Chain A
Amino acid sequence: MPEQPYAVQLSGMTKRFPTATGEAYTAVRDIDLAVAPGRFVSVVGPTGCGKSTLLNAAAGLMPPSEGTVHVYGEPLQGLNRRASYMFQQDALLPWRSVLDNVTLGLRIRKVPADERAEQGRAWLERVGLGAFAAAYPHQLSGGMRKRAAVAQTWIVDPDILLMDEPFSALDVQTRQLMENELLTLWTGSEKTVIFVTHDLDEAISLSDEVVLLSAGPDSEVVGGYPVDLPRPRDLMDIRNSPEFNDIYRRIWSDLRNEVMKSYERRARTLQAG
Chain B
Amino acid sequence: MSDALARSKPASTKDGAAVDDRVTPTEPPVRPPAPDPSVKKSAGRAWLRVSPLVLGLQLALGVGAIAGWQLLTQVGVLDTFFFSQPSRVAVRVWEWLTTGVIYDDLAVTLQETFLALVIGAALGLFVGFLLARVRLLAAVLDPYIKILNAVPRVVLAPVFLLWFGLGIWSKVAFGVTLVFFVVFFNTYQGVREVSRVLVDNTRMLGASESQLIRHVFLPSALTWIFSSLHVSVGFAIVGAVVGEYLGSAKGIGYVIAQAEGTFDTTGVFAGIVVLSVVVLLVELLVNRVERRLLRWRPDSGRTDVA
Contacts and interface: CB of A to CB of B under 8 A. Distances in A.
Contacts, number: 72
B205 A84 contact: yes
Sorted from nearest, which 3 A-B pairs have the closest CB atoms?
A91-B201, A105-B205, A85-B204
A59 B203 CA distance: 10
Interface stretch (B16-24, B109-117, B127-135, B298-306): B298-306
B216 interface: yes
A141 B303 CA distance: 12
Given A85-B200, A87-B200, A90-B197, A108 B205 contact: yes
11 contacts: A59-B204, A61-B200, A80-B204, A91-B197, A95-B220, A96-B215, A96-B296, A105-B205, A108-B202, A108-B215, A138-B302
> Interface majority SS on A: helix, strand, loop or mixed?
loop
A272 B36 CA distance: 40
Contact of A104 (B202, B297, B298): B202
A19 to B, nearest CB: 18
Given A91-B197, A94-B297, A108 B206 contact: yes
Nearest to B204: A85
Contact of B215 (A61, A104, A109): A104
Interface in A25-51: none
Contact of B304 (A79, A93, A138): A138
Interface residues of A, number: 31
A89 interface: yes
A136 interface: yes
Given A93-B215, A104-B205, 4 more contacts: A79-B203, A83-B204, A91-B201, A138-B298
B285 to A, nearest CB: 22
A90 B306 CA distance: 10
A240 to B, nearest CB: 30
A87 B201 contact: yes
A150 to B, nearest CB: 13
Contacts of B215: 93, 96, 104, 107-108
Contact of B305 (A79, A108, A142): A142
A81 B204 CA distance: 7
A136 B296 CA distance: 6
Nearest to A107: B215
Contacts of B303: 138
A53 interface: no
Contact of A91 (B198, B220, B304, B305): B198
Nearest to A152: B205
B211 interface: yes
A136 to B, nearest CB: 4
B289 to A, nearest CB: 15
Interface in B213-272: 215-216, 219-220, 223
